[in-house]
Amino acid sequence: MKSYKDLSREELLQLHARLEEEYKDAKSKGLKLDMSRGKPAPSQLDVEMDIMDVMTSSSDYKTETGMDCRNYGIVDGIPEAKKLMAEMMGVADANNVIVCGNASLTIMYDTISRSMTHGVLGSTPWCKLDKVKFLCPSPGYDRHFSITEHFGIEMIIVPMTPQGPDMDMVEELVSTDSAVKGIWCVPKYSNPQGYSYSDETIRRFAALKPAAEDFRIFWDNAYAIHHLYDDVQDVILDIISECEKAGNPNMVYEFASTSKVSFPGAGIAAIASSKENLDDMLKSMTMQTIGYDKINQMRHVRYFKNLGGLTEHMKKHANIMRPKFETVLKILESELGGLGIAQWTMPKGGYFISLDAMDGCAKKIVAKCKEAGVVLTGAGATFPYGNDPKDSNIRIAPTFPSLEELTEAANLFVLCVKLVSAESLLQSYSN
């Protein structure tokens, strides 16, 4: 296929007319599909239903230390859940883990909120400072950016590379600007690109020399065990150990949850960090709760048992998700390959495919899709303030629709990419 950029104005006009016809046809189908969020499909939720039979009226509700899971107590999580979550996150020592409620997002939000009101390990509360800044590797996770925006924290875009964030820029900003208090990271199968940080990137993170004593890396290890393939899997270094080795034991908070392992609505979430950080955090947590849901923690432990159990279980998810990713990638390749109008990632795990359209085209493509009944993540959502400076990045979430729906949605999507790109090129002719 000839690159669009090599087409004459005449050829482009003909192409555009043909694409418009195709689009009209597509619209008339009255699709109603949602590719907007990283949501497991109903069929994925069905594979873990046995977990609901693990804690019944006749079960033992005692933890390994003899505490009754049903009653008050244990603010930092039952010991066996700490072990499970440590294994899942790849954290060496379960004592570095606190297990909370059903959402890692809540732990992240609460961590920022606590830093605002109480500071970090005795530092000035961030709400008392004139300016607080966060580095935001982008494209990234919109809900991270929403939290920092909500607290009035200034967000600075750091470009992403296939090896992770641009570390030259990270090192420069972190070491020179004491207003920089944090950075959002999804180190494995990143949202939305599916990139995993290289060993070098992670070692450079661990070796950062922050200007601010209360600078923290917010390490959202959301997809730690969310592989698509058995044979090709990304492995990343344990940031907790690396920070310890580098003499920066307090510099990182790591987050994870079973939202996409058991249930998005009813999993368990955890934070891992140094003992000093966790103790600091517990000062607030013991005010905030007498204890998170320990029965649900026990339910997860009894069902998954250990990393082996988790890994086996995640293969069931992969078997459902892999064909969906492959379907989208195949359609992207066959329909957009060689046209010079889009680039996309080919992740080996996680929940997303990231596509970069021609500059200035993302919003129009997403709008065209919506007009024809396919909802994508809002263009710009993958950047701070919902503002993609190039208006180019689109996040594709292939998991929720069925394979049939997904095929229709992906076909409509590539059509919209072509149509908007042709329009854009025509406009540059007329300018």
Pairing mode of beta strands 269-272, 342-344: unpaired
Work out the number of other CB atoms within 10 angstroms of the CB of residue 191.
25
Q: Is 344 in the site for its own copies (CB under 8 A)?
A: no
Residue whose C-alpha is closest to residue 408's, from 84, 4, 101, 32: 32
Q: Which is nearer to its own copies, 118 or 216 (CB)?
A: 118
Q: Which is nearer to its own copies, 128 or 209 (CB)?
A: 128
Q: Which is nearer to its own copies, 113 or 163 (CB)?
A: 113
Q: CB of residue 61 vs its own copies: minimum separation in angstroms?
A: 8
Six token digits for residue 294:
């320990």
Find the binder of its own copies among 197, 292, 351, 352 (CB under 8 A): 292
The H-or-E segment that residue 200 falls in is helix 199-206
Q: Is 346 in the site for its own copies (CB under 8 A)?
A: no
Q: Which of residues 83-102 bind its own copies (CB under 8 A)?
A: 101-102
The H-or-E segment that residue 272 falls in is strand 269-272
Q: CB of residue 306 vs its own copies: minimum separation in angstroms?
A: 22
Q: Is 150 in the site for its own copies (CB under 8 A)?
A: yes
Q: Which is nearer to its own copies, 192 or 210 (CB)?
A: 192
Residue 77's alpha-carbon distances to 41, 72, 146, 184, 222, in angstroms, are 29, 12, 28, 25, 19
Q: Is 198 in the site for its own copies (CB under 8 A)?
A: no
Q: Which residue has the tokens 């609901």?
A: 52
- Applying CB under 8 A, the site for its own copies has a residue count of 59
Q: If 0-12 CB within 10 Å is exposed, 13-18 middle and 19+ buried, where does residue 380 land?
A: buried
Q: CB of residue 345 vs its own copies: minimum separation in angstroms?
A: 23
Question: What's the sign of the alpha-carbon dihedral 138, 140, 143, 148?
Answer: negative
Find the binder of its own copies among 3, 124, 176, 288 (CB under 8 A): 288
Q: Is 123 in the site for its own copies (CB under 8 A)?
A: no
Q: Is 110 in the site for its own copies (CB under 8 A)?
A: yes
Work out the number of other CB atoms within 10 angstroms of the CB of residue 333.
13
For the stretch 131-142, what's the b/e string if a residue is b when 16 or more beta carbons lie within 10 angstroms of its beta carbon?
ebbbbbbbbbbb
DSSP, res 425:
H
Site string for its own copies, 243-282 (x = CB under 8 A): ----------------x---xxxx----------------
Q: Is 72 in the site for its own copies (CB under 8 A)?
A: yes
Binding segment toward its own copies, per CB under 8 A, in 132-140, 141-149, 198-206, 274-282: 141-149
Pairing mode of beta strands 252-257, 269-272: antiparallel
Contact residues: its own copies, CB under 8 A:
37, 39-40, 42, 45, 49-53, 55-59, 61, 68-73, 101-103, 105-106, 109-110, 113-114, 116-118, 125, 127-128, 143, 146-147, 150-151, 259, 263-266, 283-284, 287-296
